[in-house]
Amino acid sequence: FKMKQRIQCPYCEGGVITCAVCLGGGSVIQTYETQEGGQSEPTRALCSCPTCDGIGVVACVNCKGEGVGIPTGLLRKEIKQPVDELEQALDEMGIAAYAANYQNIRARERLAREESKRSAAVTAKPEECTIMET
């Protein structure tokens, strides 16, 4: 009986991490100079985060959003164990394989949802910011 296992990414534990720029909020405060009457004044505006496009999460840099700690080509390693009839039956039914892949499947679904949000956010005007009162 050969059991195959996936090694989860130790950095993200699933494929996505909180954006370090906006800390998951999706927006940042930007300060810029405005010219009024010959004087420049600082103006603050609440803008969509340029790193995560306002989503609040980014794909893990360690596993590239895959959720596993080693490259896909080397993903599974074999562990030799004595034959266990119950485990062999579960493996043949695919339940053991499903359980081993469960977390990776969920991480990929989260990343797909976040990427679809990101693509929707890209269609909006990127320069849209809300000017804050000082």
pLDDT tens digits, 55-84: 888 988 888 777 777 655 554 556 666 667
**E strand residue ranges, 12-96:** 16-18, 27-36, 39-48, 57-59, 77-80
On whether the CB atoms of residues 60 and 16 are closer than 8 A, the answer is yes
Mean pLDDT value across residues 47-56 = 88
Higher pLDDT: 28 or 41? It is 28
- Report whether pLDDT(99) > 60: no
What radius of gyration do the chain's Cα atoms show?
Answer: 23
Contact 14, 67 (CB under 8 A): yes
Sequence-ordered strand ranges (E) for 37-128: 39-48, 57-59, 77-80
Reported pTM: 0.46
Residue with tokens 């010219």: 35
- The share of the chain scoring above pLDDT 70, in percent, equals 55
Choice between 108 and 126, residue whose per-residue pLDDT is larger: 108
